[in-house]
Amino acid sequence: MEKLFNKSGKLKGLILVVCTLLSTVSYGQFSTEQDTTTNVAPQPEEATVAVVAVADSIPEVPDELIADRLKCLEKNVQLTFNKKIRGFIDYFTVRNRRYSVVMERRKRLYFDIFEEALKRHNMPQELKYLAIVESGLNPKAISRAGAAGLWQFMPSTGKIYKLKQDQYVDERLDPYKSTEAACRYLKDLYNIFNDWELALASYNCGPGNVRKAIRKSGYKDTFWEIYNFLPQETRGYVPQFVALTYTMNHLQDHNIFADSLEYPIRFDTVHINQYVNLDTFCEQLNICKDEFTKLNPAIKRNYLPDNYPFHIRIPSDKSEYFAMNKLAILDESSKRSGDEIDDELSQPPVQFASTKPASENKSHGSATAQKKKVYYTVKQGDVLSKIADKFEVSLSDLKKWNNLKGSTIKSGQKLTIYKGGLVMEKPTLAKQTESNKKYDPHKKVYYVQPGDTLWTISRSNNIPVEKLKKLNNLKSNEIKVGQKLIMS
C-alpha cells in the first residue's frame, strides 16, 4: 500500500521555514477541529532545539497512507485513524517537529526500562509511548496538580502502588519503580474495562469518570462511542497516544532526524543505611553531581539520614573503587552539615552541668556546658541510643530531659535536646599540649579534635582506619571530641 504513495508531492523549503517558526509558538494548545481545543503533551524544557529536518521540505502524507501505517502498527491496542488523530499527527510532524526530535533524542534513556517491565507483565509494548504523553520523558516532571515523574502519578495513587514518598525520597520520580507501578495500575484498569483505549482514558481521568461517560452515553464498548461524554482533556489524551505511536515509528518518513542521541549511564547499586552527605559522597567517588542526580532522581535532599535503608546507583566504572574503599568513603561522607536536624528551634543558652559521665570528665578536667535547647522529631526507624549518639549526649540525659522511663519512642514524637560543646576548664599542661597537636610519630596517643573523623585522622597520620579501630577496640566509626586514641 505504501508504495502507491512514494511519488506524493512535497512542499517547498519555504513551508519548512514557516512551520519551524510556527513550532516556536507557545506550546500548550492545539485545535484538531475548528470548535475543539485540546491539551497536548508536555513541552520539552529545552529552550532551543537545532533544526529538525535535514531535507529541505516537509513531505505531504495522504490520509490513506497514514491509516495504512497505523494498521500495520496495530497489535493489542487499537490505533484508530480519523480527523482528530490526523490533527495530532500533523501537530507532531509539522507544527511542532522539535518536540518529536527531543523525544527521539531521549527515548533510549527509558524505553529499555519500559519494554522490560511491559514484557514481564505480559502487556502491549506500544504502551511505552504513553510516558511521552504524560511527561515528555522527563523523570522530574511535576504538574500543577501535583502529579510527578515519567508516569505522572498523583501522591495518593502513588501510595496505593507502593511508591514511597517522604521528606527524603519520592519514588514517583524513580524510572524503575514508577514504571513497575504504572504497569500494575494500567493492568488493573484494563481488568476493569477489558479495553486498552478505555484503560488509557481512565489512566488520565480516573475509572469513575469513564464509568460515568459510559452511563451517560449508553454505550460500553469503545473510547470513540463515549468520546463526547468524557472530560475535555481525556478526549485529546487517547488521540495523542495514537498520534505519538505513529510519529515515533515514522520520524524519518517525515524527514525528522535527531541532532544527537542520549544513552543511559551504566550503573551498579550500593546499599546505604547510615547518614550520608551526597555532595561529599560524589566528591569521594569523583562523580559529577548532575550525573549522580540523573541516576538517582528520586532523592529529594542533599543527604540521606541514619537508619534509612536506600539503594544508591553509582556509575559502573566507580563500583570497584567503592568496594575497595567503602568504609573510608562512607566515613568521610558521614560528616553532618546540620541540615538533617528537623524542626530545630533555637533557644537562649541554658546552663547545665556536664552531660558527660563522671569518668569522662575526670579524664579531661572538670567542665560545665554552654548548651542550646533544640527539638528533634522522631522518624520511622529511629532508636533512642542512635539519637543520643547523633547529638553527642548521653542516653540517660536524653531520657531525663524527656521524662522517659524506658527507651520506647514513636514516629512523630518530639524530643528536647540540649546540644552544644563543653566549656572545659584548663587541663594540665601535658594534656593541653597533646590535645592541641596533630599526631607526632613519636607519641602513642592522639586526642580527637572538633571536626575529626576516623578517616581524616587515619589519612593525616598514615594509619589505616581498620588498624585504628582495632587498636582502640572501636566497633563503629563514631568518635567524640577529647577522646583518646591509641595510634601505635
Give the residue numbers annotated as catalytic, written as ranges. Answer: 134
How far apart are alpha carbons 450 and 200 in whole angstroms? 59
Long-range contacts, 85-90 (Cβ 8 Å, 24+) = 85/239, 85/242, 85/243, 85/246, 86/32, 87/30, 87/31, 87/32, 87/33, 87/239, 88/30, 88/32, 88/40, 88/236, 88/239, 88/240, 88/242, 88/243, 88/244, 89/243, 89/246, 89/247
Angle formed at CA 91 by CA 88 and CA 96, multiple of 5 degrees: 145
Q: How many CA atoms lie within 13 A of 432 on its CB side?
A: 7
Report helix, strand or coil for 172. helix
Q: Tell me if residue 39 falls in helix, strand or coil.
A: strand
Write the DSSP string, 279-306: HHHHHHHT--HHHHHHH-TTB-SSEE-T
Spatial separation of the C-alpha atoms in residues 256 and 352, rounded to whole Å: 73
| Cβ atoms 418, 401 nearer than 8 A | yes
Report the half-sphere exposure of 276 (CA within 13 A, side-chain side). Answer: 24
CA distance linking residue 172 with residue 150, whole number of Å: 8
What dihedral do alpha carbons 108, 48, 292, 262 form, nearest 10°?
20
Query: Do 416 and 401 contact (CB within 8 A), yes or no?
Result: yes
184 with 209: CB under 8 angstroms? Answer: no
Q: How far apart are CA 443 and CA 33, in angstroms?
A: 86
Grid cell 573523623 in the structure block, residue: 453
Report yes or no: 298 and 171 within 8 Å, Cβ to Cβ.
Answer: yes
Rounded CA-CA distance 159/371 in Å is: 41
Spatial contact of 342 and 376, defined as CB atoms under 8 Å apart: yes
Residue keyed to cell 478526549: 235
d(CA 342, CA 378): 9
Q: Counting beta carbons within 10 angstroms of the beta carbon of residue 473, is it exposed (0 to 12), middle (13 to 18) or buried (19 or more)?
A: exposed
C-alpha distances out from residue 29 to 96, 243, 425, 440, Å: 11, 15, 72, 72
Q: How far apart are CA 105 and CA 62, in angstroms?
A: 27
CB-count exposure of residue 286 (10 Å: 0-12, 13-18, 19+): exposed
